[in-house]
Structure 1
Amino acid sequence: MSHRPERANYTRRQKGTAAEQAASLYLSSRGYIIRECNWRCRSGELDIIAEYEEGIVFIEVRSRSGAGVHGTPEESVDERKIRQVRNTAQVYLHMQGLHEAVISFDVIAVQLNRDLSIASLRHIREAF
């Protein structure tokens, strides 16, 4: 009889929250000012909106747990997701009156361990 360690069964939401919290802490430690987390409107959701170097940065947080069977977290940002983030960012900028803001779109890729601790975190600036 073999003994297998118990596998933690976390929900997608729990995994996403762990990754977004890690991303927020990482960004804050590097001088980003977090304006919003999980900002929503009809066109979608923006994971993190931050100020950095006199610009507004929209950060898409992607996470994976396990052995990378489904690729890296950043590989999951497809054309449909890019369009949705860009469109939602335009709504945010309009609603905030930030028509002349310098903007960029980053991706933070988080690899999670089974216990939701962070195995790795990669920040891809100006990803799209």
Structure 2
Amino acid sequence: MQEIDLHTVKKLLNSNSLSLTATQGALCLPILQRIYKKMKIGIQFGGIQVKGSRIVNGHHRYICSQLVKIEIEQIEWEIPKSAMDHEWSKINIVEEDYEDEDQIKEHNKRDAELNGVDESTFDDL
């Protein structure tokens, strides 16, 4: 299975091709890699929450959808007044995983149920 790396993500973030605006200052590379692999095999994800062109929730899914070149639903959502915009080119890409093994299993369970597949589908990703 093809993987994405830090260089690939940085290249996209620096490309000026992203139409939505980030409202968080960091992304987690291991989370991006897991979502990317799932999207590559056709796993569907819930839509991302946006206010206009600003992402409220779904930064990782948005970036992966751009890398895989698939459309992801955008759901209009309220955004906190305190939310600050961040330039994609200045987003920090964290290489340490934000999620522990239990959180990853929980995401796999949710994604399997949403897509009608067995959790074992994700074992080799």
Larger helix share, 1 or 2: 2
In the superposition, the TM-score normalised over structure 2's length comes to 0.29
Structure 1 or 2, whichever has the larger Rg, is 1
| Higher normalized contact order (CA 8 Å, seq sep 6+, divided by chain length) | 2
In the superposition, the TM-score normalised over structure 1's length comes to 0.29
